[in-house]
Structure 1
Amino acid sequence: MKRISFLFIALSFVATLMAQSSHKTQNVILVTIDGFRWQEMFNGADSSFINNKQLVEDAANCGKKYWDNSVDARRKMLLPFIWDTIASKGQIYGNRTKGCNVNVKNTYWFSYPGYNEILTGYADSRVNSNSFGPNPNISLFEVMNKTPKYAGRIAAFASWDAFNDILNEKRSGLIVSAGFDKVNGMDSDSKMNLLNSMQTQLPDIFHGVRLDGVTFNMGFEYLKTKRPRILYLSFDETDDFAHGGRYEDYLNSAHYTDDFLRTLWNWIQSDPEYKDKTTLLITCDHGRGEGPIGWRSHGTETANSNQTWFAVMGPDTPALGEMTSGQYYNNQFAKTMAALLGFNFETPNPVGDPIVSVLGK
């Protein structure tokens, strides 16, 4: 009996080690592109928008950069990294024309509720305003930041200053640089000091929202210098340009955000600490309406602006490319990221289930 018990314990120990080692992901980078539609994600630029003088001043120039009669060609013109690299090495979800649907679970279809859902896994009906204040819900990052393994090794860089509340910076203790927050504690000769100054020396075209190029470079510099286990980058310009009816700028912003991803991934794959140990997850907080007027808006009064998408690439995620079936929700991302890291994420709220296809199951 003792031999059997010992054998059972030994096998259980081996099984536990195998389960732990089966998770190759040791780091996660989450990127959100505010209000970027699945239509442009999967179909590229819309010619009816390009040729609408109210949305694009120079249709010829915009068309030269982003238009081709082939869907495959024009979406690669807009998002070359996503459609060359992630499409071949990862998974992309949300092409509704092919039967793969992604939606928000919250009933509001705008930013604060959308980000709360992504980060906490819970679509809270109380969170009903972009000026809601400190988030009562606990994010995955906050829970992980309370553990010895991840404490102080999680950082968020966001163009929109509301993320101080969305991530409840004061309660969570997370490192958050949102809006025009400076990043302190870097070496005196760090590029971060230049970026700290630069962010307030550029035109404030979105009235309190930091330009995405600054947000990216601050986050990238932090990644290279401080080596976090989890990094969150939140970009905002696509939503701001869409609300302003500036379609070419909306496309330009998406295009150079795609280049941020390329730069980020190339560095990750060149660094031994991150290479083949890092999962990249990209998504959006909400969709947009359809047509030249509906596209500028979102929310419950704008039909179909609850439609989203996501893309993922990493060592645990099979290279399945563009997915063509299934229904997925933004409230599933928190547990999916946790599962990739071998972490059990639980809160008092009901949290969306992990996406098994991302986990290779």
Structure 2
Amino acid sequence: MKILMTLAVALSLAAPSARAAEDRRLVLVTLDGMRWQEVFRGADPALAVDPAIVEDRPGIKAAFLDPADRKRALTPFLHEVMATQGVLIGDRDLGSCARVTNDKFFSYPGYNEILTGRPDPRIASNDPVPNPNVSFLEWLDGRPGYRGKVAVFASWSVFTAILNTGRSRVPVNAGFMTPKPHGAFEAALGRLQDQSPRIWSTVRFDAFTHNYALEAIRRDRPKVVYIAYGETDDFAHDGQYGHMLEAAHRADGFLRELWTTLQADKAYAGKTTLIVTTDHGRGDGSRPNDWKGHGAVIWPASDQTWFAAIGPDVKKGVTKLDQCAGANQVAATALQALDVDWKAFDPQAGTPLPIFALR
């Protein structure tokens, strides 16, 4: 009888942990080409007053230069919430380091590395060529418990190729897609997207990506969501520093709304890890207009990135790791957040970042 009672107690103690592990959730977010310099220094004082690249100089000055803490003025959620309740890595001014490990330093190679756990030298352009590699999202979608519970929302249309929608079953809403609406809100969102100006031929405004994602989270409650915002990169390429700052600030607001929504939903609250990073860096400012571009040939410092995470098992207040955090480690880190064996996905992928308190 004592043995049976001991076994029952053990099972009762183990059950909550097992259920928690089984019900873990993940949201991965990327901000395309968002420099670590703006994340950790805030708006650049010289760039933010340049009339050639900032239209609303008084507004930009008041919002992002006048505050005593420029980095918190630009990305308050990253610094007030993620940095204090989780990890925020990549402030090179303080000796913290994050980088891509591919040798291209632009988007498609960067996203492939983030999503597959290793760089691929065959991916040498941003052309929408179907990715021969399987992402951890596609792999998860093929596993019991995750099938049909993985979703992707992206501003850049090339994500249909990056995630190879012709092969994978992962639903991807990218670019100017207007999916069949599930309700009045999505119907209105689709009409607005179709009727809005298109500044870039392959990138929609992040507000549409964000709201499509948020609506799907509230309605379908997928276990794994990937959201890829794009405006920070495209406004920078256009030489619009003021618009780039505003895009970064909006994206930070999207992150806050996303996290607040997740914590208010019992399907996600206390179970969800949010990971935020970028696909590449940009020029380091050593030459005029360096901030506009990226790529290994002309901008060798554009391998420099940053990484943030918050969740039930994520350590609090970590700003620096013993080794430079690699973009090739994001996939394994995401899988570890879900308590899924990353080696079963790819034993050659980058290893998980040491950011979890209970692992």
TM (norm. structure 1) is 0.91
Residues 11-30 of structure 1 mapped to structure 2, 5 A cutoff: 20=18, 23=21, 26-30=24-28
**Shift in Å, 1:294:** 1.1
2:245 corresponds to 1:251: yes
Letter in 2 for 1:309: W
TM-superposition CA deviations, 1:134-154 (whole Å, max 9, x none): 000110011110012000110
2:294 corresponds to 1:298: yes
Q: Distance in 2 between matches of 1:175 and 1:22?
A: 26
**Shift in Å, 1:228:** 0.4
**Shift in Å, 1:180:** 1.2
**Shift in Å, 1:269:** 1.0
2:54 corresponds to 1:56: yes
1:29 and 1:231 in contact (8 A); partners too: yes
- Aligned position for 2:45: 47
Q: Distance in 2 between matches of 1:113 and 1:138?
A: 14
Q: 1:275 to 1:125 in 2, by over 3 A?
A: same
Mean Cα displacement is larger for which, 239-248 or 337-346? 337-346
Tell me, what secondary structure is at the counterpart of 2:46? helix
1:25 and 1:340 in contact (8 A); partners too: no
Letter in 2 for 1:314: G
Which of 66, 74, 94 is the matching residue for 2:70?
74
2:227 corresponds to 1:229: no
Which of 320, 328, 334 is the matching residue for 1:337?
334
TM-superposition CA deviations, 1:24-75 (whole Å, max 9, x none): 87110011000000000001000011122222133332111101474xx111
- Aligned position for 2:36: 38
TM-superposition CA deviations, 1:272-323 (whole Å, max 9, x none): 1111111100000000002242111000121200000011000010212433
- Aligned position for 1:131: 127
**Shift in Å, 1:208:** 2.7
- Aligned position for 1:5: none
Q: 1:146 to 1:111 in 2, by over 3 A?
A: same
Tell me, what secondary structure is at the counterpart of 2:195? coil
**Shift in Å, 1:77:** 0.7
Q: 1:18 to 1:25 in 2, by over 3 A?
A: closer
Q: 1:19 to 1:126 in 2, by over 3 A?
A: farther
Letter in 2 for 1:169: T
Letter in 2 for 1:355: L
Give percent identity, aligned residues only. Answer: 39
Letter in 2 for 1:351: A
Letter in 1 for 2:313: D
Q: Distance in 2 between matches of 1:278 and 1:163?
A: 24
2:91 corresponds to 1:95: yes
**Shift in Å, 1:132:** 5.0
Unmatched runs of 5 consecutive residues or more in structure 2: 1-6
**Shift in Å, 1:155:** 0.4
Which of 179, 184, 191 is the matching residue for 2:185?
191
Q: Distance in 2 between matches of 1:350 and 1:321?
A: 26
- Cα RMSD (Å): 2.4
Q: Distance in 2 between matches of 1:263 and 1:58?
A: 26
Residues 120-199 of structure 1 mapped to structure 2, 5 A cutoff: 120-184=116-180, 186-187=181-182, 189-199=183-193
2:158 and 2:202 in contact (8 A); partners too: no
TM (norm. structure 2) is 0.91
Q: 1:290 to 1:356 in 2, by over 3 A?
A: closer
- Aligned position for 2:202: 208
**Shift in Å, 1:96:** 0.8
Residues 297-316 of structure 1 mapped to structure 2, 5 A cutoff: 297-301=293-297, 302-316=299-313
Q: Distance in 2 between matches of 1:67 and 1:74?
A: 6
Aligned residues: 350
Q: Distance in 2 between matches of 1:269 and 1:250?
A: 29
Letter in 1 for 2:35: R
Q: Distance in 1 between matches of 2:11 and 2:120?
A: 39
Q: Distance in 2 between matches of 1:273 and 1:205?
A: 37
Q: Distance in 1 between matches of 2:58 and 2:12?
A: 63
Q: Distance in 1 between matches of 2:346 and 2:335?
A: 16
